[in-house]
Chain A
Amino acid sequence: MTKRKDTTPSPEAETETQGSAAEADVATSTGIPRRAFMTGTAATVTAATVLPNLRMARAAETGPVKIGHIEDLSGNLAVYGVQKYHAALLAVKEINEGKTLKGGPVGSGGLGSIAKFAAAPPVMGNGDKDLKYVSDGGAMTGAGMAFVEDDDVLVDSGDSGLLGREVELIAPDGQSNNNIWQQLTRRLILEDKVDCLVAGFTSAEREAIRPIVDQHKQLYIYTNQYEGGVADSNTFCTGAIVEQQVIPVVDYMIQKFGPRVYTIAADYNFGQLTAAWTKAFAPLVGGEIIEEEFVPLSVSDFTTSIARIQAAKPDWVFTLLVGSNQSNYYPQAAAAGLEYPMASTVNMAQGYEHRRFKPPSLNRMYNCVNYIEEIPTARNRAFVRRWYEMFPDDPYIGQMAQNTYFSIHLYAIAARLAGTTDQETVKKALESGLTIEAPEGAVFLEPSTHHCSHYIRLATADADHNVSFVREWPSIQPWWLQRVGVNLVKHKEYKQYIPDEDPFFKMFAK
């Protein structure tokens, strides 16, 4: 007994050594002394079992906070991956410089709201004591922003790094190859023991790594816009989904151009499911899908598809084309004289086709986006300036890059709220109704479904490829998973729902 007391350091001493170890390399400072210590005192069983556990718990809280980040830095999808990687670098740099995006557990809403303001308050009642209604009284001075939008939403965090620790980004290259994604995910979880995993461009990549994430209960943030429906206790989806992008744009297009829609979509889970969603939703807003065409990702000659569209004579075309090969559709369609209006959820904001292709390839393209570099608000201009100061040679800041950027700041806010980087605790903190002031506007992480509300703008390109915004929705909720009864706070789930599982849509199908 006495022997054990001698060799067991007091808790205070333990904390001190761990604190100084934070400066040095973690692996060597916590791993090797423990082994030396254990061989020395292996005499007593209690010391050997209790102490390493204690040490292990603390070891996770020293050294840098590790954020694992996988994106495609080479291959067919590199154009998006490099942007997202740069976004992660920018966010990590800002956190380490003691900055944060504004935000916290304040619920849905955010900074700045439009309101009417009165110089004198309205009078209750009609001059007598009957207070049944508000009279016209009061002096209306005007309408405008009740709270002026901040010039910049990046403020001091009052923290050095995250919880006093430096944030380290471990960002291997996924090489546009799903097998490599799986290997890298295992490596980041098992070897690097990352505190948070931020990864994923295509839905195929996400579905390839999600089983591994769930097996190890890894906190995982998927930052892409996608087809929606993932209800996973370990996964937080911070990109916009179908109900935020497809319904608004389909509604607008049907009102403006007519009900007959031709869908041409990439032939994998994103394209198939988004097309299924469109087919399910279109009748709700008076539309009709006259033809659906799925194009394999390898196809790059669209002559036949263009002729099919001309034969079908739609009012407008819904293009859900993904990757470098498929973006050939736009110049080819323009050269063949195809002049139908187009809508999409992926183009422009993602692969900046309006910058890459000669006008007027994207003339009359409409897209509901949660971010696009051209957003004219003060906070976005400040964000764009910060970005190009760090990466002056970048061609464009896309929607997904912005999502990765605010998601890493969101993780930092949640970890500060939790007071720890312990993954289960941070997941709970992320479920506490967090809002973050992203460059797009206020984003609210809805606790029960792990999806975000977004500031949605309907962006369109004209014949000269100038971007303008024809409609704005300051906050659209991710409501469909709530409709089917998902509540991840109460019931753990690890699946992806598809529209076929909801009888709701069959009521409206024609």
Chain B
Amino acid sequence: MPLVLSLLYQFGTGAAFFFLAALGLVVILGMMNIINLAHGELMMIGAYTATLTYHAGVPFWLSVILSFFVAAAFGAVLELLIVRRFYGRQLGALVVTWGVSLVLGQGTLLFFGPFLPSIGIPGGSFSYGDFSFSAYWLILVLISLLLILGLWWLYNRTPYGLQAKATMQNADMARSLGVRTPLIYTLTFSLGAGLAGLSGALLAPTVTIAPFMGQQFVAPAFITVVVGGSANVIAGAVASSALLAAVKTPIGMAFGAFSGTVALLLAALIIIRIMPNGISASLQKFFNRRAGGAMR
């Protein structure tokens, strides 16, 4: 029983880790189709904002919220100055965001040095049987669920969500219907950057605060988003986070971290092979077929 509980806890934290790592990228890559290699650095900006304000005396939760706005503001500036010129040129965007990531990482190293003092992980721990659990990670799982709901609400229940979806599907048509598409692009990129900053800040207590800290999230983030697919990015990201964690947790527990990582990558490989458009596309097809059957 304690082992089952521990596995459940590991699964939850693993899925939350994948989801939080991918959060900003879900919007920027999933919706806007920009291969954003500066994703890790956006998370780093969030983590640095949270760390610096926390050590300046701001309560932790407030500094997390603050880091969302700092990263979002930064994202807006980045979009207006640079990214805007690369819509529709996917490889150009890839190279330019890579350049931005190098500048940000090295600039942070020069400006803030190789490390910032860490934020202690809030909340304590409790144990059951042989195993013990961190309260903060459980809170992160809860926050991930809330963020999923929030994103769903934003894109399905608000005028902004409608206009954003319209713009991403057919920008010319949206513009002719009176949507201010440049504003929507800026807002969407800024939202993606802000979400990356937010998750960077949320994960900050669990990681080392260093200029290149973002790099560790880039691979899991891309895997999660690509496996999830872009047919329905939010549902896709949720499904792929859960699936990847479900593969990694039991194998990692039985055979160690190395095997867990190998299994994770293999699973991603297989999923992309059999569902080239990601889980969400296959899910959608499945539901469409069912709906079609019911109608007949």
Contacts and interface: CB of A to CB of B under 8 A. Distances in A.
A41 B296 CA distance: 102
A300 to B, nearest CB: 4
A357 B211 CA distance: 16
A328 B219 contact: no
Most chain-B Cβ atoms within 10 A of its Cβ — which of A79, A304, A331, A355? A304
B257 A296 contact: yes
A115 interface: no
A358 B119 contact: yes
A311 interface: yes
B248 interface: yes
A44 interface: no
25 contacts: A74-B105, A76-B212, A79-B210, A267-B258, A294-B257, A295-B257, A298-B216, A298-B219, A301-B14, A302-B257, A303-B10, A304-B14, A304-B257, A311-B6, A324-B208, A324-B216, A325-B207, A327-B208, A332-B121, A332-B134, A334-B121, A337-B124, A337-B126, A338-B132, A356-B115
A307 B257 contact: no
A336 interface: yes
Interface string A317-338: 0000000110110011011111
Nearest to A353: B208
B215 to A, nearest CB: 7
Interface residues of B, number: 52
Interface in A285-310: 293-296, 298-305, 307-308, 310
Interface in A11-32: none
B253 A395 contact: no
Nearest to B262: A296
B118 A331 contact: yes
Contacts of B248: 304
Contacts of B117: 355-356
A393 interface: yes
Interface stretch (B28-36, B88-96, B106-114): B106-114
B118 A336 contact: no
Contact of B130 (A293, A300, A301, A310): A310
B256 A307 contact: no
Contacts, number: 132
Interface string B6-17: 110110011001
A313 B127 CA distance: 14
Interface of A: 74-76, 78-79, 82, 267, 293-296, 298-305, 307-308, 310-311, 313, 324-325, 327-328, 331-332, 334-338, 355-358, 393, 395
B261 interface: yes
B120 interface: yes
Contacts of B216: 298, 300, 324-325
Given A304-B249, A328-B207, A357 B118 contact: yes
Interface string B66-92: 000000000000000000000000000
B146 interface: no
A75 B212 contact: yes
Q: Top 10 nearest A-B pairs by Cβ distance?
A: A337-B125, A358-B120, A337-B132, A335-B121, A79-B114, A304-B252, A335-B134, A293-B256, A295-B257, A300-B216
